[in-house]
Amino acid sequence: MKLYETLAADIASQIAQGVIREGEKIPSVRQTSQHHNLSVSTVIRAFLLLESQGVIESRPQSGYFVRRKPVLQASAGTADGPLAPAEMARGATLDSSALVLTTLRSINQGSVPLGSPYPDPATFPWARLNQYANGLARRAGQMGMTADLPPGNPELIRQIARRHLENGLSVDAGEIIVTTGATEALNLCLQAVAPPGSAIAVESPTYYALLQAIERMRMHAVEIETDPVAGINLEALERAIVEQGVVACMVMPNFQNPLGFQMSDERKRAMVEMLARHEVPVIENDVYHELYYGDVHPTSLKSYDTRGLVLHCNSFSKTLSPANRIGWALPGRYKAQVEKLKFLNTLNTPALPQLAIAEYLKNDGYDYHLRKLRKAYAQNASIMASAVRRFFPAGTGVSTPVGGYVLWVNLPHGVRALELYARAQERGISVGAGNIFATGDAFQHCIRLNYSYPWNAEVESAVRTLGLLAGELVVQYNCTPCKEANL
């Protein structure tokens, strides 16, 4: 039994006995660390476990409190309902999903959203999309009962195919399947190419939703070392296919989350050709495709696919409307399986959001909107990176994103992201702890920052505070700063 599980069970027991009552503040991380003679990192893991179980809750700038009417929910892998404190001590574990959930909750509670995976909602054309949706709703009676069945609305499919063509990729409109966001597209494609128990290769670090999808489908991830400039190590990937039986890959070649790199055309072509030799399909997450900072659209893996082994997934959630949750898949030779799974899993994608986006793409200035987004994000990337270099302690390294809206930060040697995360939470600042981007602890010294929001005094103050907190941890643990960034 791990130390943080024992501590969590002890705190839960005190709450159950009424020693600490509903609504009361529990001792701080530092106090608990000193009282139990445990590391701050261990205490943080215990608190996160309790929060994921609904026992306590984090309140920005205030600390942790016992939740009123707490509901102890089963952790990942437990399907029998609420866990008692003793059961938590025996078997409950903290996974990345719990950490992701607490991060998202803190954003909803008003934290400075540097840990958010979502772009600034103020950048989207809500008013225009709502106008289209309202007008369409008044004519809803004219739509048949099957208007939203797979593969999706014909006009939206036409507009998606046209968009790909304008970006240099000629696609068969009959291959497109509209989904409820890119997450559903990724899940359907994964389910189509691999059975439970399969080995699935992913970049390391990788977007945590891919790891969650693999775990949920009872497969296992094979993490392949990934360079922050060149991308996934193709030699290591091929070894994993041969030696570990990898049957499919899930990658993000353009503006990868969290590293922000763009694979070169040569490496994209080489990757597709290598996978074709082994008859291994690759699921391409290309949701940041339109958010490039250069002068030309990047290519996709789909551009080099001649065998139907690339399952391309995309959405409008990062560029146009996250609330409408409209995505799509180009599943290649797996089209029939993906369409069937879409029908069996969710039956349909709501028709009104599909039609509203189709109208916007047809009639409004999507390219003008994207140019504004790209310009703002590129400027913010430069400002955020400069601020991190300025405010964080020596030995901090930052990535060099060429698209998207996230920055990857390597903390000085010995500084744990979870400890920085917890201290930031107490001050009303959210960050993405590196622990959620891998299955192990390889990135426990890294954080991800969102720079899609306008740079203002609040954001600058939050970054300065993070730097000061990181500096305190350097002193506390007597760290020796790295001489150069280890990205």
Domain of residue 424, CATH code: 3.90.1150.10
Band (105; pLDDT cuts 50, 70, 90): confident
Average pLDDT over residues 60-76: 62
**Which residue range is the domain that position 280 belongs to?**
144-363
Q: How far apart are the first and last CA of the chain?
A: 33
- CATH number for the domain spanning 344: value is 3.40.640.10
**487 in a domain, yes or no?**
no
pLDDT at position 46 is 87
pLDDT at 95: 58
Shared domain for 248 and 304, answered yes or no, is yes
131-161 pLDDT per residue, tens: 988 888 877 655 554 557 899 999 999 999 9
Which of 363, 382, 415 is where one domain is finished? 363
Q: In the predicted model, what is the mean pLDDT of residues 455-470?
A: 97
pTM metric for this prediction: 0.81
With beta carbons less than 8 A apart as the criterion, state whether 487 and 413 touch: no
Q: Quickly list H helices, 112-221.
A: 126-138, 154-166, 181-193, 208-216
pLDDT in tens, 376-425: 999 999 999 999 999 999 999 999 999 999 999 999 987 999 999 989 98
Asked whether residue 470 is domain-assigned, the answer is yes
Between 106 and 166, residue with greater pLDDT: 166
Domain presence at residue 109: no
Q: In this predicted model, what pLDDT tens digit does every residue of 228-269 receive, in sequence order?
A: 999 999 999 999 999 999 999 999 999 999 999 999 999 999
Residue 133 belongs to a domain: no
Do residues 358 and 375 share a domain? no
| pLDDT value at 186 more than 80 | yes
Same domain? 355 vs 382: no
Whether residue 323 is found in the same domain as residue 455: no
Percentage of the residues of the chain whose pLDDT score is greater than 70? 90
Residue 428 lies in a domain: yes
- 438 plus 348 within the same structural domain: no
The mean of the pLDDT values for the chain is 88
Stretch 267-283: mean pLDDT? 98
pLDDT grade, residue 484 (50/70/90)?
very low
Same domain, 394 and 316: no
Non-local (6+) Cβ contacts of 406 within 8 A are: 257, 258, 260, 432, 448, 449, 450, 451
**Residue at which a domain ends, from 303, 336, 363:** 363
Q: Are residues 185 and 243 in the same domain?
A: yes
* Claim to verify: residue 192 and residue 304 sit in the same structural domain: yes
Which is nearest to 458 in space by CA: 223, 110, 168, 38? 110
Residue 382 lies in a domain: yes
Q: What is the pLDDT of residue 224?
A: 98
Q: Is 359:444 a contact under the CB 8 Å cutoff?
A: no
What CATH number has the domain bearing residue 12? 1.10.10.10
- Residue 337 pLDDT more than 90? yes
Q: For residue range 2-20, what is the model confidence (pLDDT) as tens digits?
A: 788 889 888 988 888 888 8
Last residue of a domain, one of 316, 341, 363: 363
For residues 358 and 401, state if they share a domain. no
What's the burial of 270, exposed, middle or buried (CB within 10 Å: 0-12/13-18/19+)?
A: middle
Residue 296 and residue 312 share a domain: yes
Q: What's the confidence (pLDDT) of residue 88?
A: 30
In a domain, 196, yes or no: yes
Alpha carbon 73 to chain centroid distance? Answer: 23
Are 421 and 339 found together in one domain?
no
User: Are 87 and 158 members of one domain?
Assistant: no
Q: What is the pLDDT of residues 15-67, one digit of tens each?
A: 888 888 888 999 988 889 888 888 887 888 888 888 878 889 888 667 888 98
Q: Is residue 182 scored above 90 in pLDDT? A: yes
**Number of domains observed in the structure of the chain:** 3
Each residue's pLDDT tens digit, 297-334:
999 999 999 999 999 999 999 999 888 889 999 999 99
Q: Is residue 121 part of a domain?
A: no
